[in-house]
Structure 1
Amino acid sequence: MNKMERASVKLIKQILVSSLVLTFMGASISVSAKAYKTVLVHGFQSQQLTAIDPRKIDSDGEAYWAEYWGVLADERIDWPSYERVEGKIASDYLWPKLRTMSEQGVCQPGCIFLTHSTGDLITRYIIDNQANWLENAGLEPLNIVATFDVAGAGGGSELADLAVNVANGLANPVVEAAVRAWLGRSVGQTLGVLNDLKVNNARQIASFPGDRTPRLRFVADGDLYLNATKLFLPGIDDSVVAAHSACGANQVAAFDSCSVNIGMDGKLSDQDGGVRHFLPYHYPMLMSDNYDHHSVISNQANGRVTTARSSIDIAPNKRVTFSTYEEEKGFWLWKKKYRYVRQSENTSMSALLFAAIPE
């Protein structure tokens, strides 16, 4: 490499480093401009069932959010999938973290918990118990202003029922194949939180919290695992969680939308299979048939997104809002109207959520 080439390489490196610094500075500025702190609560991690190692809980939690949310959040609550919600997850992981957050005053300005998948169920348990736990310890309860529940599994997943059946020798080869596709491995002896994710069990855990924290829902209807799991999930689903759970419906049924007025694809029309009744303080916001269970928390734009609800007040003078537009497709008698979120065709769902956090 000659002198000129070395100089060029050095210049390129300097530009890349400068760009990276500016990117992180921009992220920091954006985060600091937000009115509330963001707390991440991850979902089920199947690899932890076969590689039980408490030393990896933090690193697994960090890796879970690495693609987008990790650098934008103020706190993470990490927990092991090989334990139970009302057992060691609560006593050994949730309680110590909540105590530290209270002692440090993390949520004094208010916190928004952003959850994914089983994080929805974990957070519901937190909301139902954190005030009592902290007050009994002489500490200030966390000011949880709202939650953003992405692909929420608070209503359980039928796949967890299947996995437990497989572990108990009560499944046929087709079911075993579907569970293996989902978990990425065969079911072992350790089931941990899979027991809590069984649909009936999940809906019994802190099912009606006394706290009125608004729980905003963000829902996908996409394909994974070569569709191996979709046969076992009622209604529309993201290949892991069905709409009854992700939308926050108060009952289990085969729903095809979180709304009775608009489809998952944005089509404005009556939805006979839309959810009509929700769990207390559960509000579906964004929906998309272009994202799956995992891509909803990535930084990849997968296609246009629609709204079951375009805005909601989460505190005085603080509103979560998504700007929308309507578009007609088709011709004459076949003309249909659709509603989409502005810029969603080239903006990831995660980025749409972050932008919507009040400043």
Structure 2
Amino acid sequence: MERTSVKSIKQMLVSSFVLALMGTSINVSAKAYKTVLVHGFQSQQLSAIDPTKVESDGQAYWADYWGALADERIDWPSYERIEGKIASDYLWPKLRTMSEQGVCQPGCVFLTHSTGDLVTRYIIDNQANWLENAGLEPLNIVATFDVAGAGGGSELADLAVSAANGLANPVIEAAVRAWLGRSVGQTLGVLHDLKVNNARQLATFPSDRTPRLRFVADGDLYFNATKLFLPGIDDSVVAAHSACGANQAGAFDSCSVSVGMDGKLESQDGVRNFWPYHYPMLMSDNYDHFSVIVNQSKGKVTTANSSIQLAPNKQVAFSTYEEEKGFWIWKKKYRYVRQSDNNSMSALLFAAMPE
């Protein structure tokens, strides 16, 4: 645990950055909705099962940027299954407490990363019934910001399960080791849920019409050891079909049919059909699966959609501009988000949250 003084200094530094970015006196409390964090898969938990570290692991996951800006955090262990103990021992108790305390009465935005996207879909599908059956008020989840979302699963999880069952060749085993940081062991936990077919069967069509905003990367990790096994564009862990919210797995070059991940305005082999209420927003070929949630600028960002209305007078919007590159017949037009060359994607997301 951090000492109080160190934590306070860190929060002050993060807040100072946000104020400088916004150019005004806006702070976290000025946002219209509460922010709830739902982290992703944590591979180290598979080899060191320790329920006493679930909370501290969740805190560390968001420490670089979002931890100091959020109102609540939902922590869960990667060594369990979503429909098993993750739901009964971690999701339900937290949701019950949030309802009892009225956290989401003004509305909540769930900000998820990676497998947190899949976990949140399960929450959206079940939370109202769970809470109403307990005589409590359902959470008012206004929207989700799904960053590098794994709601459609990851082909790497399929590889990991195969490797655990002794069905992988050395190339697959090397890719799994690169991703997990070690060889896969006997504990697989949420990796079963992350298999592409399994993920796409889990709470696929929640009756709740919560808008799910997608923020997608196309970067390189692990010396490209994993990219061979991910179809289409990917962030080295999750393919575009999953991160964009496509209603079927496939090889896609973008979340849009008219703008590339690099911002180029031309025809793309992009996702055409999405899961209900899934809306791709920002895309970038400069960020990878993990750099999207830290406070480090990696380069320009583009939009698949520049704005979406969440409620009357409440919208998420990104200001864009167009730029031409090249010469004569080779000239191409690109679309970028303003200030994205100087600010991290996470900072852009926070600035765009409704006030």
- TM bucket normalised to smaller: over 0.9
Aligned residue in 1 for 2:22: none
1:135 maps onto 2:132 in alignment = yes
| CA distance in 2: counterparts of 1:142 and 1:18, whole angstroms | 29
User: Residues 82-231 of structure 1: matches in 2 within 5 Å?
Assistant: 82-231=79-228
Mark the structure with the bigger radius of gyration: 1
The gaps in structure 2 that reach 5 residues or longer are 1-5, 20-25
What amino acid is the match of 1:128? D
Aligned residue in 2 for 1:292: 288
1:42 maps onto 2:13 in alignment = no
Q: Residue 136 and residue 230 in structure 1: after superposition, are their counterparts in 2 closer, same or farther (change >3 A)?
A: same
Q: Residue 260 and residue 32 in structure 1: after superposition, are their counterparts in 2 closer, same or farther (change >3 A)?
A: same
| 8 Å CA contact retained: 2:11, 2:68 | no
What amino acid is the match of 2:353? I
Aligned residue in 1 for 2:233: 236
Instruction: Give the aligned length.
Output: 343
Q: Residue 62 and residue 171 in structure 1: after superposition, are their counterparts in 2 closer, same or farther (change >3 A)?
A: same
Quote the offset at 1:317 in angstroms: 1.2
User: Residues 4-83 of structure 1: matches in 2 within 5 Å?
Assistant: 23=13, 26=16, 30-83=27-80
Counterpart of 1:338 (choices 334, 348, 351) is 334
Counterpart of 1:279 (choices 268, 275, 279) is 275
Runs of 4+ in 1 over 6 A off after TM superposition: 16-21
Give the stretch that moved more between structures: 28-37 or 142-151. 28-37
Aligned residue in 2 for 1:317: 313
| CA distance in 1: counterparts of 2:229 and 2:7, whole angstroms | 48
| 8 Å CA contact retained: 2:14, 2:65 | no
C-alpha RMSD of the superposition = 1.6
Q: What percent identity do the matched residue pairs reach?
A: 84
Quote the offset at 1:22 in angstroms: 5.2
Q: Residue 20 and residue 94 in structure 1: after superposition, are their counterparts in 2 closer, same or farther (change >3 A)?
A: closer
| CA distance in 2: counterparts of 1:150 and 1:326, whole angstroms | 24
- TM-score of the superposition, structure 2-length normalised? 0.94
What amino acid is the match of 2:202? I
The gaps in structure 1 that reach 5 residues or longer are 1-15
Q: Residue 18 and residue 127 in structure 1: after superposition, are their counterparts in 2 closer, same or farther (change >3 A)?
A: closer
- TM-score of the superposition, structure 1-length normalised? 0.93
What amino acid is the match of 2:234? D
| CA distance in 2: counterparts of 1:56 and 1:18, whole angstroms | 22
Q: Residue 20 and residue 172 in structure 1: after superposition, are their counterparts in 2 closer, same or farther (change >3 A)?
A: closer
